[in-house]
Structure 1
Amino acid sequence: MTETRTHRIVVVGGGAGGLELVTKLGDKLGRKGAAQVVLVDRLPTHIWKPLLHEVAAGSMDPNTHQLEYAAQARWHHFEFQQGELTGIDRTRKTISVSACVDQDGAELLPARELPYDTLVLAIGCVTHFFGVPGAAEHAIALDTVAQAERFRKRLIAACVRAQNGRGRVGEDGRPRVDVAIIGAGATGVELSAELRNTAHVLSAYGLHRLDPRRDVRIHVIEAGPRILPALSERVSAETAKLLRKLDVDVFTSERVTEVTAQAVLTASGKTIDADLTVWAAGITAPAVLASLGLPVSRQGQIVVGPTLQSEGDPDIFAFGDCASCPWPEKQTSVPPRAQAAHQQATFLYEALCARLAGRALPQFTFKDFGSLVSLGHFSAVGSLMGGLIGGSMFIEGLMARFMYTSLYRMHVMALHGAVGMALDTVSHWLRSKTSPRVKLH
């Protein structure tokens, strides 16, 4: 007699889509012992990546919004393995995972191999500096909580130094703090508005005596002809108007050629002062994907078909920002957005259950429900799309802010259920009544 081994599903990447997928698979298959479900991620905690600009501005305390992978695994019947993907042996059907070390460099977990029957890659994307001199050294990316926290602390320190005469002085002789944001996509635009709010709050709490609008200057620099190039021209134009009302300097058609410790240089000859620089100008696929022996796109993403299976191996799936998924209606690939990862996670849950049951795999169809951009406490703008409204509709103000907030609440509901989401919402509302609007330390 031979022993039948339980099918093992390994998901690499605990971002929005990856964590939603293993949570659903654990509740459906792991709970019943129908499959082993394993999540692999290089970090021990999860945070919804679209929130990182709020962490950087200090308007969100990451400790209250992070989720421990080990705890989620315990609650939802999957296994968590911490480590970074370093390779795949497709013949032996194993993945290689790096060692984990603590803050002092001591090894916590050794490098190891993990077997799989079905492998799902959802490792997201990383910042692309495009080879600009000084960008990697002097600009801060917003890929992780650690990077966002680093920026926040440097911002507060710059404001404190400026008010005490140890920082930059403007042409009018007043102390001044300059923040340059390279890239006017959603992250750059949302960060600029949050930073304007932060400047007001820091002044109100007495952390600095600078004029929030005149002395704290925020510059958004975009290489293209308009901000938010991935969205409609109307959304772009309305957002630009709102930013200018917030005294945010918007530079378009300005290609950055160099980043120094104190300035950003552009191809037109401009020198833009910068005590702090954020790089939000582009993303690229992680380098490890090119070493796996699977077909990749020009952007380095795993090429997948309509079933989200990689073209090189039917036992390997990929989705989210690390996958190049066809979008036949637009004759392009599915855009790297949170809504795409959410839809693909839901699709893969059903597809993998069908695969284990021996049924044919369905085909993924992306539905574009529009895009929203939050300008913090000031406003929000965006466009809604879909059959319910018969095309597209521009929205702004309170309705847009409500819709934007709902996106995160939908993610929380996917992880904790409706009751858990409601309790989470109430707990954060109560905490906001006894906490400052910006993290001050």
Structure 2
Amino acid sequence: MTRQTTMLNAYTPGAGHLSPADEALAQRRAKALGPAYRLFYETPVHLVRGEGTRLYDPQGNAYLDCYNNVASVGHCHPRVVQALAAQAATLATHTRYLHVGILDYATRLLALFPPELAHVMFTCTGSEANDLALRIARAATGGTGVIVTDNAYHGVTLATAEMSMSIGPTVAPGPSVFPIPAPSAQNYPDGIAAGFAAAVSEACDRMQAQGTKPALLIVDTIFSSDGVYPDPQGFLAPAAAAIRARGGLFLADEVQPGFGRTGGQFWGFQRHGILPDMVSMGKPMGNGYPLAGLVLKPETIAEFGAKARYFNTFGGNAVAAAVGLAVLDVIRDEGLQQNAATVGQAFADGLRSLAQRHETLGETRAAGLFIGQTILTDGQPDPARTARLVNALRDARILISSTGPRGDSLKIRPPLPFSLADVDQVLTTLDRILPGV
């Protein structure tokens, strides 16, 4: 199966797309960083500055960012930068010393969850958070079997890479990893909720047939690498019940959909009316500063906590806590969750309206400012056309990417301050360039 890395491999060194200076920079990059790194776009973008929803090249040209959820409250937000600098100039140390800032952040963060999720453990990356969750699940259940969707992305440690089919076949899946089809209407035509839950139960049957006990069902609650599948709301509840019926736990990976991005709720799992055993977070927590974590029920961590100790030298350090608090303040004070709901709805409506004039645009799947847009040729999803469109938008100074097992959908996931004017720029540009793609 062709994975979505196809578009990421589009740049060919020496192809003549870049200026001589940027070509030299790309060659220097390849020599220093090696072959596993990839550059976006046929003509890579050289960036030197960011502000809000814009990124800038050395010539001062502005690129509208439709992709980077890492800078969740906008690139280089001054309140976040100020909090980072002030704390870094005062104290930077870890969670094995008492520090009020770490506890203030933990308290603020936990208040955003159902009260049953009462503990938080800090890491530097979402990969670490998911790796830690797997260790805890194994201790809590006595099992090792993990169920994931078949084009998931959950991290880059060995354990999480084995749960991440979207990054390529070299390490995934691991022997205790059991992939199931993503929750789309195409995969489950008789009903997504019942079909996805049945797939979880069938995966448990497969693992038990080979002597493996179920430990964990992990899903990115927006299914971003699978193609973005947010609906129907509530469809995850039967799947969570299915894994628990077999002795396993349910982990909601909120690295991408969390922190208000889906608009109506602060966390993606809340759209489904479920209470996870654990919730992993990352990227948007620190607006670019390495901050991630795992929130969980006290009973879930009890066995692990009784037999093992955990610390992370940089996870939850005083600077990270200050940054995390600033991000939460900005989301609250600038109404960014409501903005995601309002602007995201306008974006999705605009794409659907545009599809009436452009048969290239297929299904629009959206929750707040997280949108998957299928690109078609003769009524069929077309990854090659999607890649051409991604590169054409880059040339029009709009940064976007693709998603899905074949890379046949646009992945639209901008910073949360994205505005109606930003939406209009994207829609107007699409209207202009779609006939030539």
Question: By the TM > 0.5 criterion, same fold?
Answer: no
> By percentage of residues, which structure has more strand?
1
What TM-score, normalized by structure 1, do the two folds share? 0.30
Larger Rg: 1
> By percentage of residues, which structure has more helix?
2
What TM-score, normalized by structure 2, do the two folds share? 0.30
The structure whose RCO (Cα within 8 Å, separation 6+) is larger is: 2
